[in-house]
Amino acid sequence: MSYKEKISKFIDEHIDEYKQIALKIHDKPEVSNYEFEACKLLSEKLGEEGFDVKVDVAGHRTGFTATYKSRKKGPVIAFLAEYDALVGIGHACGHNLFGANSSLAAAGLKSVIDEVGGEVRVYGTPGEEGGENGSAKGSFVREGFFKDVDVALCAHPADRNAVSSNLLAIIPLTVRFFGKPAHSAASPEQGINALDAVIQVFNGVNALRQHVTPDVRIHGIITSGGDAPNIVPEFAEAKFYLRANTKKQVEELRIKFDNIVKGAGLQTGARGELIQEENSVDDMVMTRTLDEIYAKNVEDLGYEIDHFGKKSIGSSDVGNVSYVVPTIQPSFRISLDKIVGHTEGFKQAACSEYGLESIRFCSKALAYTALELILDKNLLEEVKKDYQESLKKMI
């Protein structure tokens, strides 16, 4: 029996267990920093598979690592797992499938790793959707979890099979203004309106929109704006996402945004604070050689795949990983119908039998891709060379 056949046999024998995990995560959606049950389900399952598991890592209480190292030397392959839900709607991005898929791919590869050599890891990375202590992959990068990793692999649920897509970079920011309360009718001249300052930030952003490139997105919400209409608001807060094509562009955009916040404070007399409470999210460094290895394995399994991908208007902290190691995040089809992320239709597809069954072929394709890199040193070097050439164009 070949190594691929052994991996395939393992996945076929264990697929139902991982489907059940995906369903349990779907049935109990947990947002960033609160994915306690999802973390427990995935990490304990990997522990049962023989991985050395650690929970509460990289400053994330619902993050985990699962590692298995062969006595035979070889590359280090990291599979990235996501399992957070969206606020309000639940698993309308399919991360319940994402985490199960990556974990099963890693377990499948582990079934042959003692024979072929190397090390298999699963990094459970919370809060991809942002939120409290969100975008954990940035923390994993910062804390050095990828310093000895050769390749990082994962795949995202979608309505089609496709290679990795470009992503937008994000800087998430919180704007706070502190004013002075007063009675809005009796003594308004004694107050300093913090809400007015926040509104001026929105006005400044709207004026900026006509002077930025088409890829730029700036969106915000007011999270606090006062307690009563007859009291001048002494505190107001808003949260913004700044997005652009590249890490460099979004950093330049932040400078302009900083000046808008300063100007709003000067106009109103309110004291402003600009805080970044979550990690920045980087754009994607593409490694097409690695994507094509994955695509070939998808086709060998009997599935069609788009080799070109598309320009995404979304973002993912997998981009942070792509700035330090060759990384792919292709998409895998979970519905026969056209579905859009972050909608009720996508949520239903993420718990459908078709969606659950998609884990089988995708986990095999990811595991096969890793296997080929372990068995063929020249192929791994080709991937690394391609990656370095792409990285040079980004920095």
Q: CATH classification of 3-167+283-394, choosing from 2.130.10.30, 3.40.50.300, 3.40.710.10, 3.40.630.10? A: 3.40.630.10
| Per-residue pLDDT tens digits of the chain, which is 395 residues long | 999 999 999 999 999 999 999 999 999 999 999 999 999 999 999 999 999 999 999 999 999 999 999 999 999 999 999 999 999 999 999 999 999 999 999 999 999 999 999 999 999 999 999 999 999 999 999 999 999 999 999 999 999 999 999 999 999 999 999 999 999 999 999 999 999 999 999 999 999 999 999 999 999 999 999 999 999 999 999 999 999 999 999 999 999 999 999 999 999 999 999 999 899 999 999 999 999 999 999 999 999 999 987 666 789 999 999 999 999 999 999 999 999 999 999 999 999 999 999 999 999 999 999 999 999 999 999 999 999 999 998 87
Spatial CB neighbours of 28, under 8 Å, sequence gap ≥ 6: 37, 38
Q: What is the pLDDT of residue 394?
A: 86
Predicted pLDDT at 32: 97
- Tell me how far apart the alpha carbons of residues 373 and 146 are, in angstroms, rounded to a whole number: 17
3-state secondary structure of 370: helix
Instruction: Please report the pLDDT score of residue 100 as a whole number.
Output: 98
pLDDT value for 97: 98
Cα angle 157-162-167, degrees, rounded to a multiple of 5: 75
Q: What is the pLDDT of residue 182?
A: 96
Contacts for 313 with CB less than 8 Å, ≥ 6 apart: 168, 217
Tokens of 243: 């997005």
**How does pLDDT run across 308-367, given as a tens digit for each residue?**
876 667 899 999 999 999 999 999 999 999 999 999 999 999 999 999 999 999 999 999
Span between the terminal Cα atoms of the chain, in Å: 45
What is the per-residue pLDDT for 308? 84
What pLDDT score was predicted for residue 395?
Answer: 77
Contact 301, 4 (CB under 8 A): no
Query: Does this model's pTM top 0.85?
Result: yes
E-strand ranges in the chain read 52-57, 60-69, 76-81, 119-124, 151-153, 156-158, 169-178, 217-224, 235-244, 271-275, 327-328, 331-333
Distance of CA 263 to the CA centre of its chain: 33
Say which residues have a Cβ less than 8 Å from residue 8's Cβ, sequence separation at least 6. 108, 364
In eight-state DSSP terms, residue 210 is: G
What b/e string do you get for 62-92 counting C-beta neighbours within 10 Å, with b at 16 or more? bbbbbbbbbeeebbbbbbbbbbbbbeeebbb
- The DSSP-derived string for 274-312 is EE--S--B------HHHHHHHHHHHHHTT---BSS--B-
CATH classification number, 169-275, choose in 3.40.640.10, 3.40.1390.20, 3.30.70.360, 3.40.50.1370: 3.30.70.360
Residue 229, SS3 per DSSP: coil
pLDDT of residue 311: 67
The domain locations on the chain are 3-167+283-394, 169-275
